[in-house]
Amino acid sequence: MKKIAILGSTGSIGVNTLNVIRTFPKVFDVEILCTNTNIDLLEKQIDEFEPNYAVVNDKELCKELQDRVSKKICILCGQDGMIEAIQNADYDVLVAAMVGFSGLIPTIESIKRSKRIGLANKETLVAAGELVIELARKYQSEIIPIDSEHSAIFQCLVGEKSENIEKIILTASGGPFLNTPIEKLANVSVEEALKHPKWDMGNKITIDSATMINKGLEVIEAHYLFNLPLSKIDIVIHPQSVIHSMVKFYDGSVKAQLSLPDMRIPIQYALTYPDRLPSDFVQTDFTQVGSLTFFKPDRNKFECLQFAYDALQEGGLKPCIMNAANEIAVNKFLKKEIKFNQITYLIKEALNKIENGSASDLEQILQCDCKTREFVNNIKI
Print pLDDT tens along the chain (381 aa): 999 999 999 999 999 999 999 999 999 999 999 999 999 999 999 999 999 999 999 999 999 999 999 888 999 999 999 999 999 999 999 999 998 898 999 999 999 999 999 999 999 999 999 999 999 999 999 999 999 999 999 999 999 999 999 999 999 998 889 889 998 988 899 999 998 777 677 899 899 999 999 999 999 999 999 999 999 999 999 999 999 999 999 999 999 999 998 999 999 999 999 999 999 898 888 888 889 999 999 988 999 999 999 999 999 999 999 999 999 999 999 999 999 999 999 999 999 999 999 998 999 999 999 999 999 999 988
The predicted structure's pLDDT at residue 289: 86
Domains 2-145 and 315-381 share a fold: no
The predicted structure's pLDDT at residue 197: 74
Q: How far apart are CA 46 and CA 327, in angstroms?
A: 30
The predicted structure's pLDDT at residue 7: 97
Q: Judge: domain 2-145, CATH 3.40.50.720.
A: yes
Residue 144's DSSP bridge partners are 118
The predicted structure's pLDDT at residue 22: 97
Whole-angstrom CA distances from 43 to 46, 63, 68, 113 are 5, 13, 8, 28
- Give me the helices (H) in the chain, please: 12-23, 39-49, 59-68, 78-88, 104-111, 122-139, 148-157, 190-193, 203-211, 213-226, 264-272, 286-289, 303-314, 318-334, 342-353, 362-377
The predicted structure's pLDDT at residue 321: 97
- Annotated domain spans of the chain: 2-145, 150-261+283-312, 315-381
**pTM of this structure:** 0.93
Class of domain 315-381: mainly alpha
CA angle 155, 284, 14 (to 5 degrees): 60
| Side chain identity, residue 96 | A
Print burial letters for 106-124: b (CB count within 10 Å at least 16), e (below 16): bbbbbbeeebbbbbbbbbb
**Contact criterion met (CB below 8 Å) for 259 and 266:** no
**Contact criterion met (CB below 8 Å) for 371 and 354:** yes
